[in-house]
Amino acid sequence: MLVTHPAQSAALKSLIVYSDEVRDALAANKPLVALESTIITHGMPFPRNVETARQVEADIRENGAVPATIAIMDGKIHVGLSDADLDRLAQAEDVMKCSRADLTFALATGRYGATTVAATMMAAHAAGIKVFATGGIGGVHKGAEQSFDISADLDELARTPVCVVCAGAKALLDIPKTLEVLETKGVPVVAYGTDELPAFWSRESGLSAPYRLDTPNEIGVLLKVRENFADHGGVLITNPVPETDEIPRDEMSGFIDAAIKTAAEQNVTGKGVTPFVLGNILELTDGRSLDTNIALVRNNARLAARIAAELV
Active site residues: 36, 170
Packing angle between helix 288-309 and helix 273-284, nearest 10 degrees? 120
Side chain identity at residue 40, one-letter code: I
Q: How far apart are CA 188 and CA 157, in angstroms?
A: 9
Q: For the chain, give percent helix, strand, coil, nearest 5.
A: 50, 15, 35
Angle at 209 between CA 203 and CA 214, to 5 degrees: 80
Helix (H, G, I), strand (E, B) or coil at 219: helix
Half-sphere exposure of 172 (CA within 13 A, CB side): 25
Side chain identity at residue 105, one-letter code: F
Three-state SS annotation for 7-41 = CCCHHHHCCEEECHHHHHHHHCCCCEEEECCHHHH
CB contact at 8 A, 197 and 237: no
Q: Report how far apart, in Å, the C-alpha atoms of 305 and of each of 32, 144, 216, 283 are.
A: 7, 34, 9, 32
Among the listed residues 179, 172, 184, the one whose alpha carbon sits nearest the alpha carbon of residue 143: 172
DSSP codes of every residue in 229-291: STT---EEEE-PPPGGG---HHHHHHHHHHHHHHHHHTT--GGGHHHHHHHHHHHHTTTHHHH
The values of phi and psi at residue 44, to 5°, are -160, 160
